[in-house]
Amino acid sequence: MISRVTASSMTQTAMRHLQSNLSELARLQEQATSQRAFAAPSDDPAAAAAALDLHAEQRRNDQYARNIDDGLAWVTTADSAITRSTALLGRVRDLTIQGANDGAMDATAKEAIAVELEGIRDELLAQANTRILGRSVFAGTSDTAAFDSAYAHSGSSDGQVMRRVSDTASVRVDTDGAAVFGTGAGSVFALVDNIISDLRSGTNVGPRLAEIDDRRDAMLSAQGAVGTRQSQIERAKEAAVQNSVSLESRRAAVEDVDSVEVLVKLQAQELVYRSALAVNARVLQPSLMDFLR
């Protein structure tokens, strides 16, 4: 059986193929312009779902990165304050050794040492009340200063400031001020006050050296714990950076296009479309019936 091919059917078939070629050309032009593999989720549902998951992971990793930066600021601030406090306590020890030499130190000299010790005590108290963004690094979750004028500590052992640095890890970023400086009559501030009082009353301050050493050891122990947490946060930062690079690479593989590949396909599709136009222009010539209609 011979099928009759009419001019109308040839025209419809040609237009359908031209439209298909034009649609593919438009899609490739859109990819070349936007550099995206798909314009709408319906273009590639599987890739769109994968892209959504990757974007969610990137947002989560970005939040961890912000937590890490904030946590590093906390522990670095605390470490610096303890370092300065340790240096100040070293100066207290030196002055105490001088003041313990009763044979060479008269009352005037001891008073000069006492005055300097008062300044150091105030500096120590200022270090103990160090703040970051309005929060004391030695007071836990408390919004007040870590130590008041009576040397009482406002923080609590269970009121810890935590920062989540990964899906599975959270790190404490504040430092227990009571462990570093002591509290009340057992604080380093009260110890300096006692040394000042002994100097002015004529009491030998030599026995206070052991107390200074004990307080210094407590500071160094607390600083070691801060350093351990700082190292943990820095490792988490390295992991977050690596994860960020990996996630971006995976996202690009799903969402972005290969520019060279798209341009080659675009040029090929333009050639196909122009060829189709030329062929159809030659094949679909007007017939006598077209003029008679």
Query: What are the CA-CA distances from residue 64 to residues 47, 58, 98, 170, 190 (Å)?
Result: 26, 10, 51, 10, 41
pLDDT in tens, the chain (293 residues): 455 655 666 666 666 766 766 666 666 566 656 566 666 677 678 888 888 898 899 999 999 999 999 999 999 999 999 999 999 999 999 999 999 988 888 899 999 999 999 999 999 999 999 999 889 999 988 888 999 999 999 876 667 899 999 999 999 999 999 999 999 999 999 999 999 999 999 999 999 999 999 999 999 999 999 999 999 999 999 999 999 999 988 887 777 565 666 666 657 666 666 766 666 666 666 554 454 45
Q: What number of helices (H) and strands (E) belong to the chain?
A: 8, 4
Q: What is the DSSP letter of 36?
A: B
What pLDDT shows up at residue 264?
64
Domain range summary for the chain, segments of one domain joined by +: 52-251, 257-293
Nearest of 225, 157, 215 to residue 186 by alpha carbon: 215
Classify domain 52-251 at the CATH superfamily level. Answer: f41 fragment of flagellin, N-terminal domain (1.20.1330.10)
And the tokens for 6? Answer: 């009419």
The pTM (predicted TM-score) of the whole model is 0.77
Cβ neighbourhood burial of 116 (10 Å; 0-12, 13-18, 19+): middle
